[in-house]
Every structure is written in structure tokens, then in C-alpha cells.
Amino acid sequence: MTDRSQRKLSAILAADVAGYGRLVDHDEERAVGALREHLDAVLPIIADYGGRVIDTAGDGILAEFPSAVRATEAAIAIQRRAEDLDADVPAGERMRFRIGINVGDVMVEDGKLFGDGVNVAARLEQLAEPGSVLISGTAFDNLQGKIDVPLDFAGEQHVKNISRPIRAYRVRMGKVGPSWHRWAMRGRARWREGTAGLMTVALLLGVGWWLQPGEPALAQPSIAVLPFSNLEGDAATGRLADGLTEDIITDLSHVADLKVIARNSTEVYKGTAVDVRKVGHDLDVAYVMEGSLQRDGDQIRVTAQLIDVANGAHVWSQRWDRPAGDVFAIQTEIADHIVGQFEMTNGPVKSANLLAARRKRPTSLTAYELNLLGVEKQLSPTRESIDESIAILNKAIAADPTYARAWINLAWANMVSANYGADPTAANKAALAAAERAVSLDFNDAEAHAVLASVVGNLNDLGRAKSEFDIALRLNPGSFAILTYYISFAPDFGEIERGAQLADQAIQRNPNYKPWASGTFRFVYFMAHRCADALHVMERQTPDNYTQWAWVQRAGCLAELGRTDEAKATVQEALKRYPTLSIEESVNRVGPDDAIRQRHLEAMRLAGFPACAKPDQLNGFTNPFRLPECAVQAKP
């Protein structure tokens, strides 16, 4: 590297006009004039979004932005502006840009950019379809929770001169009006102009609401992460504290349904004593996280606490004493713990909203509040509670058909209903429709991908299930819930031992897990022949929570542990609740995986379940598995 060059991390936008050579060959004068008109119109957009034009050779544009968010917003605005300009131009003569965006390391020399960061953006531009925007996985990771436009996974791309495959995502342009970019450009000034008009309309339309008594709608959780305090005062510890703050904000911004205040809004509180209630009021958030960092040689001490600004109460707090090299692990743990407080399935934050929703009049409940009530019915599932959940969630969707979270939870409810006696074919069909609807509404919601993974996994499309789980965990790696869903399919993926180890980690992360998670942990421990652990996690449930598989696995584990009388009693109770239960019927329903089938067959034989299914129970299976003694009995 020369004295004139330096390295830095940048968001790079590369664009060109698709088929420009063909347009020049067809009518050179018109093509050159049209290109000049388009460049004159779109280059100012780059500046509007804080970008810097690096090069405009021929029909191409190379620009640098301070963030992936700004680069993506500019790309969308460019495409919309190009649509405006060509609205009356015949399709074959239009200037259609292809745009690629990457976040990566670049080398700067004499104002020019070089390196893989630029090369990846250029390769993605070449892969992009005319009129589209293709972004890299690193850009995608930086966009989570910060942009409302859906991003569709476009696979791993192998590109020229780059040895590693590149994750690619396509910006779903949708049917946004052609003048959308005018509202997006110029930031706050435009926002103020638009808001004034919208507020006037809202006041005119909302007079009736203001004149009638009502109950306020519950807000979705929101948090501000204050800069970590540097208790040492030296510059090196200060940089470490700043990095810790920024990484936690980034991790939390991956969580759907959680509003996270940007770093530049909380930076003003750095180094000052603050009243968290005032911070909450100023930033319009319900929760504030604050912490400190202290260094002693090669050791660091990190403290963090989550505070409810309404009453100043500590929702959660913890301290870490670790080697300085563990700072990144600590950052991940803090984010994971905070995520846990906001997850409906294992945290207190939404539980407070749930209590408020329960107190409201049914006719005044919003889609968000109905969704909370619907999920509550799934946390300690029974046949009756799952039916109630489906009914409540259908009301939430009727109130807001575009609310992805309600579709997600409806998919879960339909899928689980099959374990409590619902027709499996109809239940899985309804679950699949709801899950696919959720993903189409919000591609960036990790749980939408997790529920879709679970549904297609139940339908034995394990390749698609694994792919959807990978997306979900990439979007929200700190989620206890998504980790738990993944664990339930670990045996199907051939990862039985790893699944049991992940269950250990999940329980350590959240020892106060709800009864719904017990089923997943029980199953993977059962498959790993850790029967004592399987029975232990079942203590979180009551017999009414048990599915058919819970009865089967409990009886099998009791028999394996030599608790014969308890195993026999469990078999009798299972048959009372599921009179047609048999080994044949169960191993056919469990799926095609030989290891899972064999494990259940051995456990059920040992426990003493009836062997043979009735003939009509096997009619729905293609080439059903038969036990030798049952096949003999079935012969005429």
C-alpha cells in the first residue's frame, strides 16, 4: 500500500444500462442523448442520499455510500426516476439500469476505489435483471430492521475472480408509484412537508374517534441502547465500549417487531448522567438499555441492564467478568439476553402488553393485541387452547390482513393442531398457506422463515426446510424460539447429537422456558437416548399439554429406564386418549427417516404399545411400513 492509499469499509453501488450497446447500434444519437438525460437525473440522487460518485465511465456508475441503507434507498430511487423518464418510451428503447450493491473492504487511492468490495458490487450488477437491484449478503446483513422494502434470497452466486460464493438478495421493487423517490429524497425536510399534510388528513378523518371514549392501542416494543460507559477513561477502552454499543444495536435491529433507535440518536447521551425516563420520553421508547465497561489488564468487566422507562424498574441485569478477547462473545450474549426479554415465548416485556390486552374490551382490540392473545393460547398448548388460538388469530388477520406476525402465529397454530387430533392433511395445508403468506408480507421477519421451514419440514421437504432455517438464523441468530424450532428438526437433518447439545444451550440461555418448548427438547433428548433429560423437561408440562408423540416418547423412556409399571400406566393413559394408537400407525406417521422410525419402533415395543394398525389407518400412506407379524395377520 502506498502513502497515498488507505483501506476502509464502504457500501458500494455499481450500475449500468442494460443493453446499452444494442441501443447505440440501433440509434446512436438517440441513445447517447437519452443516457445523458438519465445521468443528469439520477446522479443528483446519489448526493441526496449522502453518496459520492467515483466514476461514470460510459453507461456505468460507481458510487460510494456511508451505509448499505443509504445505498439501497438511492438504488430504489434511481430505478423509480428511470421509470419516470421512460414512462412514454417504447419498451425496447428504454434506459433500464442494473444495480449491484455490496458492503466490503476497499482500497482508496487518489480518490478511486479498488478491491473485492468494488468487484463484488460490479459482479452483482452484471447478474441483476434490467430494472432491478441485487445486493450482497454483507449488505443484506446491514439492512436488517432498517428498511421496509422486502428482500428475496437469490441464492449463492459464483462470480468471476471471486473464489468464495456470494450470497445475493433481490430487492422486491413492488408496485410503488413512479414518484416514490420524491418522498424518499432529502430526508427530514421532505418528511416534515409530507407529515403536515398527513396530519391534516388524519385530523379530518379522525374527528369521530377523538369525540368518542376509547382505549389506547398498545405500542409494539421499542428500545434505545445508550452508549456504554467507559469507566477507565482511556481511549482504547473507549473504543471498545463504542464498538460494543454499536454491535448490540446491530444485533437487536435484526429482531422483527422491535423498534431499535439508531446509534446517532443515542450518541448525544455519551459520557453524561441521564434520567432514563427522560430518555424514554425524548426518544419515544418504552425501554432503555445502559451498561458500562471496565478494563483491568487483560480482563474486562461488562455490566448491562434493561430498564422500563415507565417506572424505572430493572427488567433484566447481568455482569460479565471475562478476558478482553471475549468481548465479541459478551456482545452476542447481551443481545441474546435482550432479545429474550422481548420474545413472546420467553420474555416479560410482551407479557406486560398481554396483561393490558386482556383488560381491554374485546371490541376495541387491535390486530397486534389479538395476536398477543392468540400466541398466549399456544404457550401451554392443549387441544382446546390451539382451537382458541386459531379463532383469535383469524380475527387479527381480519382486522389487518397485512400483519405478517398474525399470519406467522396462525401457521404455528394450524401446524400444532395436527398433534392434538386435527386432520394432518388439512392442518398442514392451512399452515403452509399462512406461512407462505407471512414470508411474502415480510421477507425480513426471521420467524416467518422459521415457521415456513417447520411446515415444509413436516411435509418432508427437508432441503427447503434447512434453507429456510438458515435464513431465519442469519436474520436473528439470538432468538431462543428460532433455535428451538431448529432443534426439533435436527434429527431429520441427521444432527441428533448436535440437536441435543443445542437443547442444552437453549435451556442454559433461557432456564425459564415456557411449556411449548418442552416438546422440542423432549423429542431431541429421546432421539439421543438421553431419557432422563427427556422426562425432566416434560415436568414443565401437564398431561393435557402432551401430544400423541409425548405419550409415546414418555412411555418409551420410562421403559428404557426400567420404570416398567410407570411405562405400562403411561401406555394405558395414551390409549385412553388416542384409542387407535399403535406402533405401525405411529412409525408411518413419523416420516420417512429410518433413524427416527427405528427409534420409535424400539421404544414403543419396549413400552408395550399395540403392534398392528387397523387396515383403514394405513390407506393414506404410499407403501406403508408393516411389521412382520401384522403383515402375516393381514393376509387372507
pLDDT of 177 reads 32
Nearest to 98 by CA among 35, 16, 168, 20: 16
User: Mean pLDDT throughout 152-169?
Assistant: 76
Same domain, 151 and 255: no
User: Mean pLDDT throughout 509-515?
Assistant: 74
Same domain, 167 and 24: yes
pLDDT of 111 reads 61
| Range in 201-210, 341-350, 427-436 with the lowest mean pLDDT | 201-210
Same domain, 158 and 233: no
| Range in 185-199, 298-312, 459-473, 482-496 with the lowest mean pLDDT | 185-199
Q: Is residue 167 part of a domain?
A: yes
pLDDT of 183 reads 26
Same domain, 44 and 115: yes
Same domain, 172 and 236: no
**pLDDT tens, residue by residue, 316-344:** 777 878 887 776 677 667 776 776 666 55
594 has pLDDT over 70? yes
Q: CB neighbours (10 Å) of residue 628?
A: 8
Nearest to 490 by CA among 520, 516, 460, 513: 520
In terms of phi and psi (left: phi > 0; alpha: psi -120 to 50; beta: otherwise), the region of 578 is beta
pLDDT of 175 reads 38
**pLDDT tens, residue by residue, 108-126:** 776 677 777 888 888 899 8
If one compares 163 and 180, the residue with the highest pLDDT of the two is 163
pLDDT of 181 reads 32
What are the helix (H) ranges across 89-159? 116-127, 137-143
**pLDDT tens, residue by residue, 130-146:** 889 999 988 887 786 67
pLDDT of 196 reads 34
Q: Is residue 127 part of a domain?
A: yes
CB distance 524 to 499 below 8 Å: yes
pLDDT of 149 reads 77
Same domain, 159 and 34: yes
pTM over 0.75: no
CB distance 389 to 374 below 8 Å: yes
**pLDDT tens, residue by residue, 236-288:** 777 778 777 877 776 676 665 677 786 767 888 888 888 888 888 888 888 88
Same domain, 115 and 12: yes
Quote the percentage of the chain above a pLDDT of 70: 81
Q: What's the angle, vertex CA 475, arms to CA 377 and CA 254, rounded to 5?
A: 80
If one compares 256 and 218, the residue with the highest pLDDT of the two is 256
Same domain, 25 and 171: yes
CB distance 382 to 420 below 8 Å: yes
| Range in 205-219, 312-326, 417-431, 442-456 with the lowest mean pLDDT | 205-219
Q: Is residue 92 part of a domain?
A: yes
Quote the percentage of the chain above a pLDDT of 90: 20
4 has pLDDT over 60? no
Q: CB neighbours (10 Å) of residue 373?
A: 20
Confidence of residue 92 (pLDDT cuts 50, 70, 90): confident
pLDDT of 356 reads 55
Final residue belonging to a domain, choices 322, 342, 362: 342
Nearest to 12 by CA among 56, 57, 66: 66
Confidence of residue 202 (pLDDT cuts 50, 70, 90): very low
pLDDT of 76 reads 92
Confidence of residue 557 (pLDDT cuts 50, 70, 90): very high
Domain boundaries, position 151: 5-178
pLDDT of 138 reads 85
Place of cell 443528469: 40
User: Mean pLDDT throughout 152-158?
Assistant: 76
Final residue belonging to a domain, choices 178, 204, 235: 178
pLDDT of 257 reads 62
Could you tell me the CATH number of the domain that includes residue 292?
A: 3.40.50.10610
Q: Is residue 267 part of a domain?
A: yes
Q: Is residue 17 part of a domain?
A: yes
Place of cell 441427521: 494
User: Mean pLDDT throughout 345-367?
Assistant: 55
2 has pLDDT over 70? no
If one compares 340 and 405, the residue with the highest pLDDT of the two is 405
Confidence of residue 1 (pLDDT cuts 50, 70, 90): very low
CA-CA distances (angstroms) from residue 409 to 120, 388, 492? 38, 12, 23
Residue 165 C-alpha cell reads as 460464493
In the DSSP assignment, the letter for residue 136 is E
Q: Is residue 511 part of a domain?
A: no
pLDDT of 633 reads 61
pLDDT of 222 reads 81
Same domain, 242 and 171: no
Q: Which residues neighbour 569 within 8 Å (Cβ) at sequence distance 6 or greater?
A: none
Same domain, 41 and 169: yes
* Domain count within the chain: 2
If one compares 496 and 377, the residue with the highest pLDDT of the two is 496
pLDDT of 317 reads 78
Same domain, 10 and 95: yes
Q: Is residue 193 part of a domain?
A: no
pLDDT of 184 reads 32
In the DSSP assignment, the letter for residue 144 is T
Final residue belonging to a domain, choices 342, 360, 381: 342
Calculate helix-pair angle for 480-489, 515-527, nearest 10 degrees.
40
Q: CB neighbours (10 Å) of residue 50?
A: 17
| Range in 164-168, 381-385, 464-468 with the lowest mean pLDDT | 164-168
Same domain, 44 and 169: yes
Q: Is residue 318 part of a domain?
A: yes
Arithmetic mean of pLDDT over the chain: 79
Q: What's the angle, vertex CA 55, arms to CA 124 and CA 127, rounded to 5?
A: 15
Q: CB neighbours (10 Å) of residue 196?
A: 9
Question: In the chain, what's the furthest Cα-to-Cα distance?
Answer: 92
| Range in 255-269, 370-384, 398-412, 571-585 with the lowest mean pLDDT | 255-269
Could you tell me the CATH number of the domain that includes residue 123?
A: 3.30.70.1230
